[in-house]
């Protein structure tokens, strides 16, 4: 492993509860994953005989998402779920330089109990009755593993103040676990613990990452223009953190599987044979 962060950066993280580290990922790998996202939506549009947008990857992806969204919210969500499981998303979490950065911050034996989470913000892709970003919360309740767990927030594009930034409250991790109300996706921190002026926008360059303590208060900004913001978050937990060892490795997230057939009478013998009979493709 190679050391990436200097002492000042490590001290900043420990004191402030977050850190922006640039030049961690190859932008080409981010672009490749966006291309795969776009392919997923384009495939569905072609299946439905709907127009597929051309142009730059990000612009065409945004438009193709909008078209699928307009055709079927259920299909839109299913395609997003599939995208979150693509190789490129997982590759980000295991990038060597990201591993080195978390090691600099004390994650000696990294583990992943949760899969990466895809976050998308766009004024044209707001699900009826759904949510657009998260309110102020801490990530601790989502994993409850090692005390030094690091949340990694990785954008696919340059993030500026008008692109639905993530917002954090510096030094809030030192307040420990705070009271709040359990919502569908997060434990919303009570607004008695902060003021609006406490939040700081996180502007990360493409190829960079924001690292946060699991106890740092953060939220999604609703301040955005007509562009789309896509990011991935994950958790670097530490299998050697003392309290985690003493608590016998507790996890909040457990694997479940749907038994039985999702699609009845699929596949047929002919479909299986046809798959393995295709030569030269």
Residues 6 or more apart whose Cβ sits within 8 Å of residue 267: none
Residue 65 to residue 73: CA distance in whole angstroms: 10
**Average pLDDT, integer, range 257-280:** 85
Same domain, 119 and 257: yes
Whole domain around residue 161: which residue ranges?
Answer: 7-25+107-277
Same domain, 128 and 220: yes
Report percent pLDDT > 90 for the chain.
76
Greatest pairwise CA separation for the chain in angstroms: 65
What's the CATH number where 220 sits?
2.60.120.620
The confidence score (pLDDT) of residue 67 equals: 98
pLDDT digits (tens, 9 = 90+) for 84-129: 999 999 999 999 999 999 999 999 999 999 999 999 999 999 887 6
State residue 201 phi and psi, 5-degree precision.
Answer: -70, 145
The confidence score (pLDDT) of residue 184 equals: 65
Same domain, 82 and 220: no
Sign, CA torsion 77/33/200/9? positive
Same domain, 150 and 58: no
Same domain, 58 and 124: no
pLDDT digits (tens, 9 = 90+) for 126-170: 887 655 567 899 999 989 999 999 999 999 999 999 999 999 999
- Comparing CA positions, the residue from 171, 159, 241 lying closest to residue 203 is 159
Is the residue at 253 inside a domain?
yes
């Amino acid at each position: 492993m190679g050391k990436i962060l200097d002492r000042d950066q490590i001290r900043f993280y420990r004191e402030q509860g977050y850190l922006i580290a640039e030049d961690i990922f190859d932008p080409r790998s981010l672009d490749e994953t966006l291309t795969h996202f776009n392919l997923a939506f384009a495939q569905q549009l072609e299946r439905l005989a709907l127009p597929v947008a051309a142009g730059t990857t990000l612009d065409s992806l945004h438009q193709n998402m909008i078209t699928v969204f307009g055709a079927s919210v259920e299909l839109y969500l299913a395609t997003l779920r599939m995208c979150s499981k693509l190789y490129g998303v997982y590759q980000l979490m295991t990038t060597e330089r990201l591993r080195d950065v978390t090691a600099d911050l004390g994650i000696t034996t990294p583990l992943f109990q949760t899969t990466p989470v895809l976050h998308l913000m766009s004024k044209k892709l707001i699900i009826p009755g759904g949510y657009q970003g998260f309110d102020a919360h801490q990530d601790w309740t989502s994993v409850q593993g090692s005390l030094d767990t690091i949340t990694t927030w990785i954008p696919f594009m340059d993030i500026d103040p008008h692109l639905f930034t993530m917002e954090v409250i510096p030094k809030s991790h030192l307040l420990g676990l705070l009271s709040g109300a359990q919502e569908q996706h997060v434990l919303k921190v009570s607004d008695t613990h902060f003021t609006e002026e406490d939040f700081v926008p996180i502007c990360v360059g493409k190829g960079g990452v924001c690292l946060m303590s699991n106890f740092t208060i953060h939220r999604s900004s609703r301040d955005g223009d007509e562009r789309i913001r896509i990011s991935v978050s994950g958790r670097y937990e530490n299998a050697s953190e003392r309290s985690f060892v003493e608590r016998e490795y507790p996890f909040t997230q457990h694997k479940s599987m749907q038994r039985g057939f999702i699609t009845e009478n699929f596949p047929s013998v002919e479909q299986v044979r046809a798959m393995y009979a295709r030569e030269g493709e």
